[in-house]
Amino acid sequence: MADISVDQESGPSRRALLKGGAAAAGLAVGSGAITGFPTIWAQNIKDITLAHVGQSFSVIPQIAAQASKDLGFKIDMQAVDYATQLNRTFTQPESIDISDLSINVVPDLIKQGIGMPVPTSKYKWWDKTVPIFTKGEYPDGKKASVQGGAPIKFQYYADKDGTKLSATPTEWLASIPTLYNADTLGIRPDLVGHKIDSWAELINPQFKGKASLVDEADIGILDAAMALEAAGQMKYADKGNMTKAEIDKTIAALIELKKSGQFRSFWQNFDQSVSLMASGEVVIQSMWSPAVTEVRTRGIACEFVPLKEGYRGWGVTLVPMKHLSGLKLDAAMDYLNWYNSGWQGAFIARQGYYSTVPETAKAMLEPYEWDYWYEGKPAAQDIKDPFGKMMEKAGNKRDGGALWDRMGNVAVWNCLMDEQRYLTKRWNEFISA
Amino acid sequence: MSLAAPLLRSAPSTKAASRKPARPWPNWLVSWLQVGPLALVLLFMFVMPLIFVVVVSFFDYERVQIYPAFLLDNYAEIFTSAVTGRLYLKTLEYAAIVEAITLVLGFFVAYYLTFHVRTLRWRIILMLACTIPFFTSNVIRMISWIPFLGRNGILNDAVMATHLVNQPLDFLLFSDFAVILAYVHIFTLMMVAPIVNSMSKIDRSLIAAARDAGANEWMIVRDIILPLSKTGMALGSVLVLTQVMGDYYIVRVLSGGKSAGVVSGIATQLNAFEYPPAAASSVVLLVIVLALVIGIFSIVDVRKELAE
């Protein structure tokens, strides 16, 4: 499938930055500049290239350029869409060194035996990682929701060969979690007309022809389920792992909504969600945090609105692939340690994502940025997005408040259900209905 | 003429025969060497993948894995699922509407270019003008419809300015209207080109004779030009129909994901790693499109056109 993203607004500038970044990387490689991070001193390290493949929200040229500069070898970041990512990971694992995946995909890696277990001793940030990943709980000791694909379910291997997962901590990590967030609905506060505080608003007839849903079965079904449950139309034992009967009822309700003209459109990628919202075709929809910041940088009001039923949580993780060995494996470990050492965490914080090692990100953020993004305090100065564009005026607060106000209120995690195959089939029926 | 023709035809063959002994290789080998490269390309890049698709369509699968097997389940699912019928109906509906519009438009554009544009220079200039929209990529062309047709788009702003309506027209974008508009925009040229080709082969003296015999413009079009451009219309129809039947990108972007064709279904299955059912759907689609093409060619003898 050729998923085409056209980012007309920011394309040229990002491309220019990429070029600059590549030049900087080239320079760094050429001069063998090493700035403290690498623990490998072999001369041929500069010939190493690591292929890091992921989606556009985490695979960003600036991060690759900085990593290449700091590490002294080349990070080749390749942004692909979700389906291509999975396709390549599973059918051509050798073409990828580091796969940047949703945490809930890890069980599939085990079936294929393509992920490399990482000993906790080799990853230096594990004891500083937020406990939703290390223990499945919040910093105050409260257990995190386990509806859907909670990260703790996929975090540890039972043994060093990585043949099965362990629900309790071991010394073998299945992957290195990097960023996470709690998703909710995006709205146009200037066009919705009243206060939005429930997922039920997505299916409120008042927004007939002005609502949109993400067209990705695994995620779209969860947003729909949150809305249907909030509106009192459905009850689920576990939204994150529906039975066939629950899927049937959900899809039937969705088809009815579609027939009534509730949805203006369905979106499949970041750019579509931005243009739907920015153009005012849609006033309420499934959305991602960077898409909300992107709409705002255009001077258009857009809010990632906190809802009383809670958020849909998710996490992204780096999986070193099993074919890595020797110097390349050492380089991959250096890269994983670099990745959560702060620069990347600070960068993605500015598009609304959280680092799994917040204290390293904090060191690289300006105090006013930390206060705005992590603490939910009013912005002491104007807030810029990672690409330097104006995002928020001084004095305003981030939607949803502080880190744990948001992450502490996750109702369900992105997941792959046991009835995945059936869900895909029924979702297709909904889209074609 | 009838006597001279065989003589003329035999002349080069005797020449060839006389040269024959000079050739170091037998004729059959030369022929094989000549068709060989293309035959190999087709074999490896077309026939083999196609065989592979057919084979996989009988396989079993689960998430991220496929298992060799001989199952009819994938086909059974296609023929028993209500979605299949709906997707085919939708695709055929699009195909029929687009075919009808592009055929009429294409015919008259071609007619104008061939019979009413007097000089060859202008004919070429106008023909090239038809291709201007194709200077940019298909993707850009499709995306550009969105700001044009959208709720706050150029067209709606213009309509609103006339005060004929007091609300933006929602049907313009993310609708069947938008999808068909985009198809017609792209595929009309595919109809125009072969029809122009057919029409330019029509002997002008036929038209002069008809005019001398008292035929008016309409009669000339109906009784001479239309029957003699059938082959071009058939070729154009094949191009248009196969393109519409094989599209999923335009329908997705311009219906806003609300409508889907057969290939959209296949694409969703591929994205979900359901290769065997996707392969089975592809085989079924291939058979149906082939049947359509054979149907068209059985009405019109295209070989005649190509041979001339």
How many angstroms away from the CA of A250 is the closest CA of chain B? 17
First to last CA, chain A: 21
User: Same structural domain for residues A418 and A334?
Assistant: no
User: Same structural domain for residues A253 and A283?
Assistant: yes
Are A353 and A182 contacting, i.e. CB atoms less than 8 angstroms apart? no
Of chain B residues 55-74, which have a CB less than 8 A from chain A?
Answer: 62-65
Give the C-alpha separation, A383 to A372, whole Å: 8
Across chain B, mean pLDDT equals 86
**Who among A83, A264, A432 is closest to B271 (CB)?**
A83
Residue of chain A with shortest Cα separation from B174: A265
User: Same structural domain for residues A168 and A45?
Assistant: yes
User: Same structural domain for residues A425 and A284?
Assistant: yes
**Who among A212, A421, A431 is closest to B260 (CB)?**
A431
CB atoms inside a 10 Å sphere around CB A308: 10
Are A5 and A270 contacting, i.e. CB atoms less than 8 angstroms apart? yes
What residue type is A331 in one-letter code? A
Helix ranges restricted to H, B200-274: 204-212, 217-220, 226-228, 230-246, 249-254, 262-271
The pLDDT value given to residue B13: 47
Range with top average pLDDT, A224-228, B26-30, B82-86: A224-228
Give the C-alpha separation, A120 to A166, whole Å: 14
**Is A23 a residue whose pLDDT tops 60?**
no
When divided into structural domains, chain A yields a total of 2
Task: Determine whether the interchain pair B152/A431 forms a contact, defined as Cβ–Cβ distance below 8 Å.
Answer: no
The pLDDT value given to residue A43: 64
Task: Determine whether the interchain pair B63/A421 forms a contact, defined as Cβ–Cβ distance below 8 Å.
Answer: yes
The reply to whether A390 falls in a domain is no
Which residues from A are below 8 Å from B147, CB to CB? Answer: 279
**Who among B83, B150, B271 is closest to A1 (CB)?**
B271
Of chain A residues 272-291, which have a CB less than 8 A from chain B?
Answer: 275, 279-281
Q: What is the ipTM of this complex?
A: 0.71
The pLDDT value given to residue A234: 94
Mean per-residue pLDDT for B129-139? 82
Q: Give the whole-number percent of chain A exceeding pLDDT 90.
A: 66
The reply to whether A402 falls in a domain is no
Give the C-alpha separation, A117 to A162, whole Å: 6
The pLDDT value given to residue B20: 55
DSSP state, residue B225? I
Task: Determine whether the interchain pair B264/A431 forms a contact, defined as Cβ–Cβ distance below 8 Å.
Answer: yes
Last residue of a domain, one of A340, A356, A388: A340
How many angstroms away from the CA of A307 is the closest CA of chain B? 26
**Is A26 a residue whose pLDDT tops 80?**
no
Task: Name the 3-class secondary structure at A99.
Answer: strand
Quickly state the pLDDT bin for A30 (edges 50, 70, 90): very low
The pLDDT value given to residue A108: 86
Task: Determine whether the interchain pair A266/B146 forms a contact, defined as Cβ–Cβ distance below 8 Å.
Answer: no
User: Same structural domain for residues A164 and A232?
Assistant: no
Which residues from A are below 8 Å from B151, CB to CB? Answer: 279-281
Task: Determine whether the interchain pair A1/B174 forms a contact, defined as Cβ–Cβ distance below 8 Å.
Answer: no
DSSP state, residue A142? P
**Is A33 a residue whose pLDDT tops 50?**
no
**Who among B63, B81, B270 is closest to A1 (CB)?**
B270
Residue of chain A with shortest Cα separation from B149: A281
**Is A345 a residue whose pLDDT tops 50?**
yes
Which residue bears the tokens 């392969």? B279
Give the C-alpha separation, A40 to A33, whole Å: 13
The pLDDT value given to residue A311: 94
Mean per-residue pLDDT for A413-421? 89
Mean per-residue pLDDT for B271-284? 89
How many angstroms away from the CA of B265 is the closest CA of chain A? 7
The reply to whether A386 falls in a domain is no
Which residues from B are below 8 Å from A90, CB to CB? Answer: 64, 273
Quickly state the pLDDT bin for A83 (edges 50, 70, 90): confident
The pLDDT value given to residue A2: 39
Across chain A, mean pLDDT equals 88
**Who among A83, A215, A421 is closest to B257 (CB)?**
A215
Of chain A residues 11-50, which have a CB less than 8 A from chain B?
Answer: none
Last residue of a domain, one of A340, A356, A378: A340
Residue of chain A with shortest Cα separation from B87: A432
- Give the lowest-confidence range in A274-283, B138-147, B192-201: B138-147
Residue A245, Cβ density class (10 Å: 0-12 exposed, 13-18 middle, ≥19 buried): exposed
Which residues from B are below 8 Å from A428, CB to CB? Answer: 83, 260, 265, 268-269
How many angstroms away from the CA of A260 is the closest CA of chain B? 12
The reply to whether A142 falls in a domain is yes
Mean per-residue pLDDT for A242-271? 93
**Tokens at B222, concatenated:** 């109906």
Q: What is the DSSP string of A59-72?
A: --HHHHHHHHHHHS
Which residues from B are below 8 Å from A221, CB to CB? Answer: none
**To which CATH superfamily is domain B82-307 assigned?**
MetI-like (1.10.3720.10)
Residue of chain A with shortest Cα separation from B85: A432
**Who among B63, B82, B139 is closest to A6 (CB)?**
B139
Dihedral of the CA atoms A41, A44, A45, A51 (nearest 10)? -170
The pLDDT value given to residue A353: 93
Segments of A269-409 assigned E as strands: 284-286, 303-305, 311-320, 354-355, 383-384, 390-392
Give the C-alpha separation, B124 to A251, whole Å: 54
Range with top average pLDDT, A278-287, B11-20, B74-83: A278-287
The pLDDT value given to residue A260: 94
Residue of chain B with shortest Cα separation from A416: B63
Mean per-residue pLDDT for B68-76? 90
Mean per-residue pLDDT for A196-224? 94
Mean per-residue pLDDT for A133-148? 90
User: Same structural domain for residues A53 and A165?
Assistant: yes
Which residues from B are below 8 Å from A86, CB to CB? Answer: 64, 273
The pLDDT value given to residue A110: 87
CA-based Rg of chain A, rounded to a whole angstrom? 21
**Tokens at A284, concatenated:** 């309420």
The pLDDT value given to residue A4: 40
Are A201 and A284 contacting, i.e. CB atoms less than 8 angstroms apart? yes
Q: Which of B16, B22, B89, B51 is nearest to B262 (CA)?
A: B89
The pLDDT value given to residue A18: 43
Mean per-residue pLDDT for B214-238? 92
Beta-strand relationship, A49-54 and A98-102: parallel
Whether the CB of B76 is below 8 Å from some CB of chain A: the reply is no
Mean per-residue pLDDT for B204-221? 92
Quickly state the pLDDT bin for A42 (edges 50, 70, 90): low
Of chain B residues 137-176, which have a CB less than 8 A from chain A?
Answer: 139-140, 143, 146-147, 150-152, 170, 173-174
User: Same structural domain for residues A191 and A95?
Assistant: no
- Give the lowest-confidence range in A12-16, A46-50, A112-116, A327-331: A12-16
Task: Determine whether the interchain pair A424/B151 forms a contact, defined as Cβ–Cβ distance below 8 Å.
Answer: no
Task: Determine whether the interchain pair A4/B249 forms a contact, defined as Cβ–Cβ distance below 8 Å.
Answer: yes
**Is A250 a residue whose pLDDT tops 80?**
yes
Whether the CB of A428 is below 8 Å from some CB of chain B: the reply is yes
pTM of the predicted model, to two decimals?
0.78
**Cβ neighbours of residue A63 closer than 8 Å, sequence gap 6 or more:** A77, A343, A344, A347
The pLDDT value given to residue A342: 95
The pLDDT value given to residue B1: 39
Task: Determine whether the interchain pair A111/B65 forms a contact, defined as Cβ–Cβ distance below 8 Å.
Answer: yes
The domain ranges of chain B are 82-307
Residue of chain A with shortest Cα separation from B248: A1
Mutate: best of B73, B174, B250, partner A, most A CBs <10 A:
B174
Helix ranges restricted to H, A119-216: 131-134, 189-192
How many angstroms away from the CA of A281 is the closest CA of chain B? 6
Whether the CB of A259 is below 8 Å from some CB of chain B: the reply is no
DSSP state, residue B247? -
Are B191 and B236 contacting, i.e. CB atoms less than 8 angstroms apart? yes
The reply to whether A396 falls in a domain is no
Most distant CA pair in chain B, distance: 85
**Is A21 a residue whose pLDDT tops 70?**
no
How many angstroms away from the CA of A1 is the closest CA of chain B? 6
**Is B80 a residue whose pLDDT tops 70?**
yes
**Who among A90, A209, A265 is closest to B257 (CB)?**
A265
Whether the CB of A6 is below 8 Å from some CB of chain B: the reply is yes
Whether the CB of A105 is below 8 Å from some CB of chain B: the reply is no
How many angstroms away from the CA of A120 is the closest CA of chain B? 28
Are A414 and A149 contacting, i.e. CB atoms less than 8 angstroms apart? yes
Q: Which of A258, A248, A423, A228 is nearest to B258 (CA)?
A: A258
Quickly state the pLDDT bin for B241 (edges 50, 70, 90): very high
Are A120 and A171 contacting, i.e. CB atoms less than 8 angstroms apart? yes
**Is A8 a residue whose pLDDT tops 80?**
no
- Give the lowest-confidence range in A185-199, B90-104, B125-139: B125-139
Q: Which of A297, A296, A358 is nearest to A369 (CA)?
A: A358
**Is B147 a residue whose pLDDT tops 90?**
no
Quickly state the pLDDT bin for A74 (edges 50, 70, 90): very high
User: Same structural domain for residues A70 and A93?
Assistant: yes
Helix ranges restricted to H, A45-123: 61-71, 82-91, 106-112
Of chain B residues 176-235, which have a CB less than 8 A from chain A?
Answer: none
The pLDDT value given to residue A193: 92
Give the C-alpha separation, A247 to A236, whole Å: 10
- Give the lowest-confidence range in A161-165, A228-232, B63-67, B283-287: B63-67
Task: Determine whether the interchain pair B257/A268 forms a contact, defined as Cβ–Cβ distance below 8 Å.
Answer: yes
How many angstroms away from the CA of B136 is the closest CA of chain A? 14
The pLDDT value given to residue A34: 43
Q: A113: domain range? A: 11-174+313-340
Mean per-residue pLDDT for B234-243? 94
The reply to whether A283 falls in a domain is yes
Q: What is the CATH number of the domain that holds A168?
A: 3.40.190.10
Give the C-alpha separation, B76 to B83, whole Å: 13
